[in-house]
Amino acid sequence: MELFEALEKRQSCRNYSSRPVEMEKLIKMVEAARIAPSACNSQPWSFVVVTSPEKVKKVSTNVLESGMNRFCEKVPAYISIVEEPAYLRGDTPNPKYAHGDVGMAVEHLCLAATAQGLSTCIMGSFGSVEKMKDILEIPQESNLRLVLAVGYAEEGDPLRPKKRKALEEICKFL
Ligand SMILES: Cc1cc2nc3c(=O)[nH]c(=O)nc-3n(C[C@H](O)[C@H](O)[C@H](O)COP(=O)(O)O)c2cc1C
């Protein structure tokens, strides 16, 4: 898929079919995130791919318990994104750019999903963070940033027009 087509087609999906997601496609998504840019090439991220039905159910239940993101009842896979310490120069981690770096990696995940016919929804609200870390088998002290729902959109789920600020509002040309 051409880049600009993928940019247009990527949208937050909140209506998933029960079709399972192929592991090769999930790996390709993480490979795409792996090559995202980051400050001083610090790569301050790690990922947890969840596809086993028992784990998927636990992740979904934790999200649903928050009363948010009801669409998680039907999500077949998740990729969680952890912000890792960013070593820019020297031995002391510097978090200044890590949040932005993680954002770029997540967009790579999303575009790689779109290019493979998959849909995603980035979730900042995913229920109890403590419980989610236990489910994902990551340390409580880790910095779990986002959980990405991944799956095939239900047939007929429409491509919505993008609601965005006008170019003139957000950009000046000098
Ligand atoms: C950091 C972040 C957190 C988000 N959290 C949620 C969420 O918890 N639930 C949800 O339905 N969408 C969530 N979204 C999706 C945004 O609502 C969505 O990207 C935005 O409205 C633009 O719509 P689009 O993704 O369909 O283009 C999140 C997006 C980002 C970048």
Q: Is residue 66 within 6 Å of ligand 1 at its C-beta?
A: no
User: 77 has which bridge partners?
Assistant: 150
Q: Which two tokens stand for residue 87?
A: 């070593």
Helix-strand-coil split of the chain, %, nearest 5: 40, 15, 40
Residue % of the chain over a pLDDT of 70 = 100
Domains within the chain, CATH numbers bracketed: 3-170 (3.40.109.10)
Give the Å distance between the CA of 123 and the centre of ligand 1: 6
**pLDDT tops 90 at residue 171:** yes
Q: Is residue 36 within 6 Å of ligand 1 at its C-beta?
A: no
> What pLDDT is stored for residue 160 in this prediction?
97
Q: Is residue 12 within 6 Å of ligand 1 at its C-beta?
A: yes
Buried b (16+ CB within 10 A) or exposed e, 91-124: eeebeebbeebbeebbbbbbbbbbbbebbbbbbe
- 79-114 pLDDT, tens digit each: 999 999 999 998 999 999 999 999 999 999 999 999
- 60-84 pLDDT, tens digit each: 999 999 999 999 999 999 999 999 9
Neighbours of 50 (CB within 10 A): 24
1 falls in which pLDDT band (50, 70, 90)? confident
The whole-angstrom separation of Cα 72 and Cα 65 is 11
